[in-house]
Chain A
Amino acid sequence: MSRFRVSVHIVPRKGLLDPQGKAVSDALHALGFADVEDTRIGRHIVLDVNADSAAAAELSVKAMCDKLLANPVTEDYQIASTVTA
């Protein structure tokens, strides 16, 4: 059994209003970053997980996302990286 550090990105689903992201988009435009098309602000969660393999750690984190970490109605999640902790 090894320890893996799994990072997950959770963002508001495309198409749903993200008022925080919109406020940041507006601020970036005001600062002259006219090339910003869309901003979505979510969460980045870093978990240290004991598992037999990186794949097993990711499988476990996916189950955590489905059950608690992400809301399936409003959010999408993606495992950003998995490294040995």
Chain B
Amino acid sequence: MKFGIVTFPGSNCDVDAIHAVTDQLGQTAVSLWHRDHDIQGCDVLILPGGFSYGDALRAGAIARFSPIMQEVQAHAERGAPVIGICNGFQILCESHLLPGALMRNAGLKFICDWVHLKVDGTAPLYLAGYTAGQVLRIPIAHGEGRFAADEATLDSLEQSGQVVFRYCDAEGYVTDAANPNGAARGIAGITNAAGNVLGMMPHPERAVESLLGSTDGLPLFESLLARVGA
């Protein structure tokens, strides 16, 4: 399976993502520049974390108009996998490939920490390697990660199984205390209606080897590999 990792000016988790899918998952990856129009036959596109365009205006607002985003949109519309992590999630929301928006953390601080996530939702492409309700330990690093959407959108996301990760405590309870940024309904990650576009604030690519403290992010990539094939 071939991954394309998009680098925008200001991306800083692109190399981590390449490391995760090559060294840990054993697949191939190419680095794609945001001005590219050719995704080089990649099966999966990842928009990595960072601060594209220095978060000018709003996080992801300008990256959304980078030339490669036309290809990302076409890839998503074909039903092929697109993953946005952290800043990538912000870009996907700004692009309207995912509903909602990511706003300033409720506590105003940038948070770099480990959190617990509860696996929810019905996106087999990304969740097949997990059990429903499983509690994961994955790091976050963001200042604008508070997921927001109107109530009707939140209801619809929940009813259609598009909420795939929620912040929870170590026992798996979704509580206000376990919600690091004030995200609506504790939402940490969602998919589009078709289940092929995933956006999440936590960093699964930083949780793929025990040396780094957790391997809980690896099944996400393994689920993809099992579905899309080597």
Contact = CB atoms under 8 A, between A and B. Distances in A.
Interface of A: 12, 16-20, 23, 68-69, 71, 73-74
B106 A19 contact: yes
Tell me the interface secondary structure of chain B in the complex: loop
Given A17-B182, A68-B61, A73 B100 contact: yes
A19 B104 contact: yes
B120 interface: no
Interface in B70-111: 93-94, 99-101, 103-108
A74 B103 contact: yes
B199 to A, nearest CB: 14
B58 interface: yes
B58 to A, nearest CB: 6
A73 B58 CA distance: 12
B149 A73 contact: yes
A19 B94 contact: no
Contacts of B101: 71, 73-74
Contacts of B93: 73
Given A73-B93, A73-B150, 18 more contacts: A16-B148, A17-B103, A17-B146, A18-B104, A19-B104, A19-B106, A19-B182, A20-B108, A23-B108, A68-B57, A69-B57, A71-B58, A71-B61, A71-B94, A73-B100, A73-B149, A74-B101, A74-B103
Contacts of B182: 17, 19
A71 B64 CA distance: 12
**Of B103, B150, B182, which is in contact with the most chain A CB atoms at under 10 Å from its CB?**
B103
